[in-house]
Structures are given as structure tokens and as C-alpha cells.
Amino acid sequence: NAGVMQNPRHLVRRRGQEARLRCSPMKGHSHVYWYRQLPEEGLKFMVYLQKENIIDESGMPKERFSAEFPKEGPSILRIQQVVRGDSAAYFCASSPGAGKAYEQYFGPGTRLTVT
Amino acid sequence: AQTVTQSQPEMSVQEAETVTLSCTYDTSENNYYLFWYKQPPSRQMILVIRQEAYKQQNATENRFSVNFQKAAKSFSLKISDSQLGDTAMYFCALRPSGSRLTFGEGTQLTVNP
């Protein structure tokens, strides 16, 4: 059973460009979480999605950031008009159910560098 | 709101010795889960151990064990017989109601030969 997959692993964007980060959850998992890790910091929650629904986006910046998890295909985290402060590692995690009892399995992360 | 605090930014230990990493947290929930994750240089997040708050018995996974003090809201990780491969950043995390994880700032552990 393949683990959580994220691509690309490394992404370089110039200021003002768009960044698209993809996350394929583990087989059978319908719950996806996105976290951001700034340099020298812990992971911070961004958004929690189920298929076709955003459940909790309280950690998402109000502007330029959006996320989706369509019925078919991977979850996408989209950052428009990137700025240097967006440079970070973005981790996706998936779980088979909702609630605190279900373990979240993490992907390897996407390291975004904005030049 | 919930918070997780790791007051030791860096720690080091000699190979084969024991080390304890500290973590305190705050939540208004009565039932929650606590976790320790390891992040080696590859940056992959690896679950080390988990503890359910309603269980009084401390969790143990091979060389890793926790000291869970619910009243004090403390959740420390003990690593016995430290190995070079234990060198990593260690994050304490809290999962109260809902689904999000709240992480501490991490402790960089270095195991010296």
C-alpha cells in the first residue's frame, strides 16, 4: 500500500507566479490535511478537506491560498502570486476517518522556494 | 485554543545513553490524543508514539516511552539506548476535538558517537 504521495518534492517559483502542490492520499483515505512548516519552526495547520468539501480552513491565509480535493484526482494546494514569505515546506497528511482517533499519515512534503 | 510548548530547542546525548525530551500543552478538552513525531534530515514526518488522554498507562514503543502527567499537562518522551539514527528534530503534537494537529516548535536531538 503506497503511502501519501506529494509532488513535486521541490518547486521553485519567482515572485508573482503561481504554485500548485499536489497530494495523493493513501488508498482508502478520504480525509486530507495540509500543514506548512516555515524554516526553523514547527508545522502549522492550514486546511482540512474531505472529498469535494472543505471542512476546516481556519489556518489558511485569507488571500492567495486555496485548496481543493475533487472527487477524482489528488488534493491541490494553490498559491497565487507567490511572495518570498511563502517559501516553506508544505506537508500533506491523510487519514481514513474523521476525529482524533484516526492517525494522520504524512507525505514527504513539497519544499517551495520563491526567488 | 490549544498550545504545545517544547522548551528545549536543542539537546544532545551520547550513544547508548538515555535522554528525555520535554513537552507541555494546554487544552480545554478532557479527551484528546498526544503524539511525538520524528523529522530526520530527509524531512519526512514519522510517528514515534501516541498517547490517549483517557488512558493512565504510559505508552511504550520499544526504546521509546512517555511520561504522561495529565494534571500537569506534561508529555515527555524518553529515548533509551540512544542510537545514531535517532538524530532528528522531534515534535510534540496535540489533537483535541476535531481533526487538526497542533505542533510544538520542536527539539533538535543529536546523538553523539
Instruction: Assign B15 to helix, strand or coil.
Output: coil
B-interface mutation test, from A58, A104, A105, A110, most B Cβ less than 10 A away = A104
Predicted confidence (pLDDT) at residue A70 exceeds the cutoff of 60: yes
Report residue B11 as a C-alpha cell.
539537546
- B29 vs A110: CA distance, rounded Å: 32
pLDDT > 70? residue A100: no
pLDDT (average), residues B3-30: 96
Residue of A101 and A77 predicted with greater confidence: A77
Contact: A33, B102; criterion CB under 8 Å: no
Yes or no: say if A49 and A101 are a contact pair by the CB < 8 Å rule: no
pLDDT tens readout for residues A71-92:
999 999 999 999 999 999 999 9
pLDDT greater than 70 at residue B7: yes
Which percentage of chain A shows pLDDT scores above 90? Answer: 78
pLDDT of residue B98: 66
Query: Best interface-test mutation with A: which of B95, B99, B101, B105 has the largest number of A CBs within 10 A?
Result: B99
Task: Catalogue the long-range contacts made by A59-65 (C-beta closer than 8 Å, 24 or more residues apart).
Answer: A59/B100
Does the pLDDT of residue B76 top 80, yes or no?
Answer: yes
Does pLDDT of A1 surpass 60? Answer: no
Residue range B31-46: mean pLDDT, rounded? 91
Q: DSSP class of residue A101?
A: T
Predicted pLDDT at A102: 76
Region B85-96 average pLDDT: 94
